[in-house]
Chains A and B, each alone.
Chain A
Amino acid sequence: DQQVKQNSPSLSVQEGRISILNCDYTNSMFDYFLWYKKYPAEGPTFLISISSIKDKNEDGRFTVFLNKSAKHLSLHIVPSQPGDSAVYFCAATLNSGGSNYKLTFGKGTLLTVNP
């Protein structure tokens, strides 16, 4: 059972436009959500996170929105830059569920930003 789903395997946008990456989850117990960016042959890099007590968190060009009723979150990148081209992973965890902080990852979305 895939508890975190990224239904779009790929997304292509023009430089300067908005990129919107989507993620759905099924486990209503998840209370902390993260986005990671991954270049080929490198480890994922943490981008931004959001707690379930919030519906929006912003950090520079990156904004994450959380809709708990829909069990949906999205990552907005504005404006998109060619260097943003990478695989983006959505992850969720039970932050209040103990000290192990296991993350459940989606399968990723490949973002391509065209110059």
Chain B
Amino acid sequence: SQTIHQWPATLVQPVGSPLSLECTVEGTSNPNLYWYRQAAGRGLQLLFYSVGIGQISSEVPQNLSASRPQDRQFILSSKKLLLSDSGFYLCAWSVLGVQFFGPGTRLTVL
């Protein structure tokens, strides 16, 4: 069966520091991968998606970037965090239109 991992589970970072969140998927090949953010009291906002290694599409202009160095690895990064980057970050993979989400990372920028 397929599983999706995210780490870390929680992270507290100062403004201006770098960020690296990692997501890996097991049990499937060449999945579509996604990064979402859920800000407090809001819905799920799609940040990036990837249909293959090295292929990244950005949905919204922002302070973040994504990379897919391996087939089942998806990384969300920032060079300098802003206060507005705080939120709950979710990685997902999809098959046949259904997306399956990881456990999420709670990021607090102080």
Q: Residues of A with Cβ closer than 8 Å to B? A: 32, 34, 36, 41-46, 49, 89, 91, 93, 95, 99-103, 105-108
B57 and A42 within 8 A (CB): no
Do A49 and B98 touch across chains, with their CB atoms under 8 A apart?
A: yes
A106 to B42 Cα, complex, angstroms:
9
Which chain B residues have a beta carbon within 8 Å of chain A's beta carbons?
A: 32, 34, 42-44, 46, 49, 51, 57, 59, 88, 90, 92, 94, 96-104, 106
CB <8 Å contact, B46 and A102? yes
Partner of A105, one of B44, B51, B94: B44
Given contacts A41-B104, A43-B103, A45-B101, whether A101 and B94 have CB atoms under 8 Å apart is yes
Measured between alpha carbons, how far is A93 from B104 in the docked complex, in Å? 22
Count: A-B pairs, CB below 8 Å? 53
List 19 other contacts, CB 8 Å, given A41-B104, A43-B104, A105-B44.
A34-B99, A43-B90, A43-B92, A43-B102, A44-B44, A44-B90, A45-B101, A46-B99, A46-B100, A89-B44, A91-B99, A93-B97, A99-B51, A100-B32, A100-B51, A102-B49, A102-B59, A105-B43, A108-B43
Chain B, interface SS category:
strand
Distance in Å from the Cβ of B44 to the closest Cβ of chain A?
4
Which of chain A's residues have a CB closer than 8 A to the CB of B103? 42-43
In the bound complex, CA of A103 to CA of B5 (Å): 20
The CA of A107 and the CA of B102, in the complex, are separated in Å by: 19
Whole-angstrom CA separation of A68 from B34 in the bound complex: 28
B45 to chain A, nearest CB (A): 8
Contact between B43 and A101 (Cβ–Cβ < 8 Å)? no
Q: How far is the CA of A7 from the CA of B100 in the complex (A)?
A: 25
Residues in A neighbouring B98, C-beta threshold 8 A: 34, 46, 49
The 3 A-B pairs with the shortest beta carbon distances in the complex, nearest first, are A43-B101, A107-B43, A105-B44
- Contact among B51, B57, B97, B102 with A32 in the assembled complex (CB-CB below 8 Å): B97
Could you write out 14 A-B pairs with CB less than 8 Å apart? A34-B99, A41-B106, A42-B104, A43-B101, A43-B104, A46-B100, A89-B44, A99-B32, A99-B51, A100-B49, A100-B57, A101-B96, A103-B46, A105-B43
